Structure formats: C-alpha cells, structure tokens
C-alpha cells in the first residue's frame, strides 16, 4: 500500500511538472532587443492558459520587445533574473481595445502595454524588468502615452519581485479587481509625465508590502470611479516613497466609497506635494483609516486632506454630486523633518462650511520645520475655500490656498478632533502660531509643544 501511495505521489508530481513552463523563444520570440516579439509572447500565453496554467518565461539575459499583450487565467508571466520585457517605441503597436483612462480630459493615456480583463488567478513575477520604454522622444502629446499595465474586473492577482521602469504614463491601473497581492517590487517612473505607480480603482482586499517607489506622479492611488464599486480593505506596509507629487493619494476619483485602509511602517522622502493626500470630492463616503509609524523627510505637507466638490471621472455627470461624508481617521507615530524646505510646510486638513471632516485623531507627532512665517501671514483671514469657482474645473491643490496662518497644523471645518503629543520645532523664528483651528467643533487638545515649550489649549488659535 505504501508503494502504491509513493507511486501516486510521483505520478502527480510528474503531471505537475509536465508542460508548466512556456518559453517565449519556443513560440518564435527572437529576444534580440529590436524585433517585435508580440505574437510569440501572446502565443505562449494562449497555450499556457489553454493547458490549465503555468509560467510564460521571459529568458534571463535577453530583451524581448512587445506591443500590447493580454494576460489570461492561471498564467504567471515570469521574468528570469536579468531579463527585460520592453515596450515598443511605436504607438501603433499598442491596441485600442484595452478599456480607457478613467480621468476626464486624459484620453491620451487610454492604451496600455499589458492588459487583462475578467481574468482569474494570474501573476507577474521574477527578478527581471518590465521596461515601458516610455521616453518623451517616443511618446508625447502628439502620439499619446500608453500605460504599462491595466487590469479590469480581475481576481486573485499577484505582482511580485519585478522591476517596473520607464512607463510612458501610469505604471499600472487596477479597475474593479479583487484579492490583490503586490510584494517586493520596485517602480521607477521618471521618463515621462503622470508616472503614477499603483492605482487601485474600486478594488477590494489589496495588500502592498516591501516595495519601493520613485515616481513622477502619485506613487500609490486609491480611487473609486464607479458608484457601485467601493475601494476597501487595503493594507500598505513596509514601503519607501519618493515622488514628484504625492506619496499616497486617496480620492479625486471618488464617486464610490472608501473604507478600511491602513498604512504603516513606511518612509517618505523628497516628495514635491504631500505625503498623505486624501481628497473626497465626487459624492462618495470615506471612512475608517489608520496611518501609523511613518517617517518623512522633505515632504511639504505630511498630511493634506480636503473635502469638496469637483468632477474628476470621465464618466461622471456634469452636475456635481451632493457631499456625503468623510470621517474616522487616525494619524499616529509620525516623524516629519522639513527643516530644509520653505515656510509652506504644515499638516493641512480642510472641509467646507456645513460639510466638515469628522472624527480625526492626531497623536505622537514630531515635526520639524524651517520657520520664517511673518506676522502678516499669522493675521491673515479669509483664506480661499475649495469652492467650484476657486477650483475652476481642476483639483483642490494647496497652491490655491497659499501660505497658511500656522506653521505646524491648520485645521478648518472639522468636527471632532483629538490632538495629543504633537510637537513642532522651528529652525528659525516663525511669527505664526503652531496650531490654528478655524471652524472646528468638539476639539480635544492634549499635549502640544512648540520649540520644547508646552502650549496650553487656551493659547491655541481658534477662529
């Protein structure tokens, strides 16, 4: 009986090992770095999925050039160490049936290099590189700029260990997908504009870990472009971010709801706009998020939150949605060192009159800034609100408000906030107060220190 059991085990092992690797060279790929090997790579993918699954192998030490390919069920696109899967420099090699970019006024990013629709259980893995080859000499305003990857209505997806470099636009767009694991990847997207890293739109059960991002736009985005597709159950941990714009952005595309998000154990450095940029403006509800154990250096706004109205989605009606709700956020254990930046450095959280952001906790923050604010800036009143006329058809950006009347923390139109163990240090004299609360209700103020001195609650500026 034992012998039969052993034979059965070996029989199953033999079946498992048989025909599980599909080498693209066996399907006609020349892998010479110039020939378009798209048909060969697609043939290997098709054979793999037809056989029930396996690995489509890009060979180590070689460069395989492709236009648009389509991933399918049970296929692992495996990049051997030293391999390069490279995007064609010709826009004509990119298909037009790969869905679309969901932002208004941006159809030039509709095409993509790697596409999947309604696919189940597929992966991109290995220590090789996907090079979008998206340089401006190939892709620009005249040609259009394809994204590197777009997946729509897919489930059980793994992206592991690969290097993703030089997309012509976003590195990836994940639309209405479920059960996603991203681990150990490196994204470098500085060769062109709008180089987002990972954009999850209406996705659920998303886990991103142990990855690094150096991007020309937001490194990670959480979005909800459809009212029936929430973005929820998202974990981001053990990552490093460098970005020309935001490290992690939540919102803008926000017709649907957002909830249950945690971000922990991450570092942010040399971010041009904001570390955490959280913006609700298309009628959904955003709630229940925790951001903890974060270290930032040269990040002008460690936290930038806005609650307003604006149309961002290409499919949104022209009429503005009513504002729903934005509530229940915890920010804890944050070190932010901005001594090398200018005076426009602060935590900035703002709702709208009659539409406050609710229930925020900010605790255990050590914040260093350059200082330099003036008495006139401290006394300024009536800073612009993010109304439709101020936005003028675009996004709620910091530049529309300008220098704030506080050098550490400025909250406006908030209901329910706890601030405790918040310490801010200025390198040079700043004549603005460290904390300003404007139209803030139900505030609990614990320990707040400015330049090692305790600021009593009654001395915090309230308007």
Q: Is residue 276 domain-resident?
A: yes
Q: Where are the extended beta strands (E) located within 405-459?
A: 409-426, 435-445, 448-450, 453-454
Indicate which CATH number applies to the domain containing 80: 2.160.20.10
Alpha carbon distance 421, 447 (integer Å): 5
Q: Per residue in 231-246, is it b (16+ CB within 10 Å) or e — as a string?
A: bbbbebbebbbbbbbb
Q: Quick check: pTM over 0.75?
A: yes
pLDDT, tens digit only, all 463 positions of the chain: 445 444 444 444 444 445 499 999 999 999 999 999 999 999 999 999 999 999 999 999 999 999 999 999 999 999 999 999 999 999 999 999 999 999 999 999 999 999 999 999 999 999 999 999 999 999 999 999 999 999 999 999 999 999 999 999 999 999 999 999 999 999 999 999 999 999 999 999 999 999 999 999 999 999 999 999 999 999 999 999 999 999 999 999 999 999 999 999 999 999 999 999 999 999 999 999 999 999 999 999 999 999 999 999 999 999 999 999 999 999 999 999 999 999 999 999 999 999 999 999 999 999 999 999 999 999 999 999 999 999 999 999 999 999 999 999 999 999 999 999 999 999 999 999 999 999 999 999 999 999 999 998 777 888 8
Domain range enclosing 315: 16-462
Q: Is residue 5 domain-resident?
A: no
User: Tokens 């049970």 appear where?
Assistant: 74
Q: Is residue 6 domain-resident?
A: no
Q: Is residue 232 domain-resident?
A: yes
Q: Is residue 300 domain-resident?
A: yes
Q: Is residue 378 domain-resident?
A: yes
Tally of structural domains, the chain: 1
Closest of 123, 124, 130 to residue 146, by C-alpha? 130
Q: Is residue 42 domain-resident?
A: yes
């Amino acid at each position: 009986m034992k012998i039969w059991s052993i034979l059965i085990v070996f029989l199953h092992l033999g079946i498992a090992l048989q025909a599980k690797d599909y080498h693209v060279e066996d399907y006609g790929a020349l892998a010479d770095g110039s020939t378009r090997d798209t048909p060969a790579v697609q043939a290997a993918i098709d054979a793999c999925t037809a056989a029930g699954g396996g690995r489509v192998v890009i060979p180590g030490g070689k460069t395989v050039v492709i236009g648009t390919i389509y991933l399918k069920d049970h296929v692992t696109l495996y990049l051997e160490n030293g391999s390069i899967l490279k995007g064609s420099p010709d826009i004509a090699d990119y298909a037009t049936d790969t869905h679309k970019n969901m932002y208004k006024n941006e159809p030039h990013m509709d095409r993509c290099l790697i596409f999947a629709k309604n696919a189940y259980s597929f992966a991109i893995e290995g220590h090789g590189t996907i090079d979008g080859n998206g340089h401006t000499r190939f892709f620009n305003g005249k040609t259009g700029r394809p994204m590197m990857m777009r997946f729509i209505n897919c489930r059980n997806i793994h992206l592991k260990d690969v290097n993703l470099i030089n997309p012509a636009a976003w590195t990836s767009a994940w639309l209405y997908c479920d059960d996603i694991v991203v681990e150990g990847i490196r994204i470098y997207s500085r060769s062109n504009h709008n180089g987002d890293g990972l954009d999850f739109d209406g996705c659920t059960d998303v886990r991103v870990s142990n990855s690094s991002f150096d991007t020309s736009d937001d490194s990670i985005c959480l979005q909800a472009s459809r009212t029936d597709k929430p973005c929820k159950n998202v974990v981001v941990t053990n990552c490093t971010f460098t970005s020309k714009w935001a490290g992690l952005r939540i919102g803008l595309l926000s017709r649907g709801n957002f909830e249950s998000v945690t971000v922990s154990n991450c570092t942010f450095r040399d971010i041009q706009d904001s570390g955490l940029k959280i913006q609700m403006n298309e009628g959904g509800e955003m709630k229940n998020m925790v951001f903890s154990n974060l270290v930032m250096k040269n990040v002008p706004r460690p936290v930038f939150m806005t609650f307003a109205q604006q149309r961002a989605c290409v499919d949104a009606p022209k009429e503005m949605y009513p504002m729903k709700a934005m509530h229940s956020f915890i920010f804890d254990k944050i070190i932010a060192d901005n001594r090398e930046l200018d005076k426009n450095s602060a935590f900035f959280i703002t709702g709208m009159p009659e539409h406050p952001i609710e229930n925020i906790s900010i605790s255990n923050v050590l914040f260093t800034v350059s200082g330099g604010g003036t008495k006139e800036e401290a006394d300024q009143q009536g800073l612009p609100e993010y109304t439709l006329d101020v936005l003028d058809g675009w996004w709620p950006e910091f530049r529309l408000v300008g220098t704030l009347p506080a050098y550490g923390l400025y909250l406006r139109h908030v209901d329910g906030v706890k601030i405790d163990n918040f310490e801010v240090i200025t390198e040079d004299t700043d004549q603005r107060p460290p904390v300003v609360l404007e139209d803030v209700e139900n505030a609990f103020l614990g320990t707040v220190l400015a330049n090692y001195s305790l600021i009593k609650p009654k001395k915090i500026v309230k308007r």
